[in-house]
Structure 1
Amino acid sequence: MSQKRPTRRSPKKTLRRGRKPKEGRPQEILAAAFEEFAANGYAAARLEDVAARGGIAKGTIYLYFKDKEGLFRAVVRSMIQPVFENLAPFIAAFPGSAEELLCELLGRHYAHVVSNEKARAILRLLIAESGKFPQLADIFHREIIGPGVAAMRQVLAKGEASGEFRKSRVKDFPQIVVAPGVLATIWRLVFGDRNQLNLHAFMTAHMEFVLHGLRKRGEHS
């Protein structure tokens, strides 16, 4: 007996009255593309279905995005723009201590990634499909991991220069500083509403744990 193929979730076709301003069209396409990628994955996502979700012609997508990969890249960028936009000058001009800056960045991570359902959906897609589509992992690394690692390294260097943080190898591997936040994200992906974490308490413990390891010996909060 042949196995029945799983039913593919099709988008609801919506027709919109009137023509919307062109300047808002890319955002509409990105919203429709996110829904399509989240519902059906990268491999099964089709630009004609993105167009149907957005109530536009398929050809309109090509006016703004080269292909499906370019559209996915733009979706990822739109998910994390609030976290990394103008981050380098923000760090350089931050008036507080390195500890305060580190906590500010970790707080942004929890607000815009760990607690962001859309960001978690993109991460779920990446874990599921980057084996077949390694370019997805490259996009994620270029748009999210790379800027995040560079920003955290900048903060750690600032803390060492000011004497707040002891010199250590942590600056060579800034991923360690964010690792508990990644764990919290994966926890929410796996368990959803079951076995929930108290995110505020978890974030506070995360910050305490990291700062305890970075401070010079004998210093206290």
Structure 2
Amino acid sequence: MASPRRQRLRPDVRLPQILDAAVEEFAVRGYAGASMTAIAGRAGVAKGLLYHYFPAGKADLFRAAVRSCVQPAFAEAEAILASRAGSRRALLRALVDMAYARLTGQPRDQVLFRLIVSEADRFPEIAEFYQAEVLSPTFALVRAVLRAGVESGEFRPEALEQPGLPQVVLAPVLMASIWRMMLGEARSPDLDAMRDAHADLLVRALSA
């Protein structure tokens, strides 16, 4: 297939277009198989422009693509947490709903998660990046929700005494995403039912 013609675009348009092209190329070729040349061709820009934005090359571009997915999710989660509207139980449910929607319903997020799962063993720097910039901040958000619930009297104090609890909260969401990747939408478990059961179980287990 012919590469798109190079385009003169404003910087605020060029960068999202490059990130979209990178996600598409990573999805097709994997991290190891993707190249800056192919990404530039897919984006319709000169390869030098990629190095202008991402001097360290493909690793820089991959990290930026992941951040372009997770930063809106973190902003949404932090807005939910900052609103303080409703009960802490409702807040926990809202965050669980959002996590399932992102990891099982957003194709871009699913592509990057699949890449991380498949490539992290070969490229430890990918796993380290994902731990530092995705998992650790996510666990911190979960701890903030648990703390708010304990302070409001809705959650049992033990919620803050289990260091592994944030990982337990997130694990079913990751498993649901892996099932979706392995089995496809038609053969996956009922993710809506799984999400609801997950939220119900958490609320019942944590409630004071």
Same fold flag (TM > 0.5): yes
- Aligned-partner Cα distance in 2 for 1:87–1:113: 14
- Aligned-partner Cα distance in 1 for 2:17–2:198: 37
The structure where helix makes up a greater share of residues is 2
State the match for 1:197 in structure 2: 189
Letter in 2 for 1:213: A
The answer to whether 1:140 aligns with 2:125 is no
State the match for 1:117 in structure 2: 107
Letter in 2 for 1:14: P
Written as runs of structure 1 = structure 2, the 5 A alignment for 1:155-194 is: 155-168=145-158, 171-173=162-164, 174-194=166-186
- Percent identical among aligned pairs is 37
Segments of 4+ moved more than 3 angstroms: 86-90
- Aligned-partner Cα distance in 2 for 1:178–1:14: 40
Deviates more, 1:81-90 or 1:129-138: 81-90
In our comparison, the structure showing a higher alpha carbon Rg is 1
Letter in 2 for 1:119: D
1:91–1:101 contact (8 Å) kept in structure 2 = yes
Deviation by residue 1:188-214 (Cα, 9 ceiling, x = unmatched)? 011013422222222111111111111
Written as runs of structure 1 = structure 2, the 5 A alignment for 1:1-221 is: 12-16=2-6, 19-66=8-55, 67-85=57-75, 87-88=77-78, 90-168=80-158, 171-173=162-164, 174-216=166-208
Q: Which runs of 5+ in 1 are unaligned?
A: 1-10, 217-221
Deviation by residue 1:81-126 (Cα, 9 ceiling, x = unmatched)? 2210264464133222110111111111111122122212212211
1:151 Cα deviation from its structure 2 partner: 0.3
Q: How many residues align?
A: 205
Q: 1:39 to 1:155 in 2, by over 3 A?
A: same
TM superposition score normalised by structure 1: 0.86
- Aligned-partner Cα distance in 1 for 2:88–2:151: 10
- Aligned-partner Cα distance in 2 for 1:63–1:161: 48
- Aligned-partner Cα distance in 2 for 1:81–1:88: 10
2:27–2:111 contact (8 Å) kept in structure 1 = yes
Letter in 2 for 1:180: P
1:149 Cα deviation from its structure 2 partner: 0.4
Cα RMSD, aligned residues only: 1.8
TM superposition score normalised by structure 2: 0.91
Deviation by residue 1:16-56 (Cα, 9 ceiling, x = unmatched)? 5x522122111010001001111111111100000000111
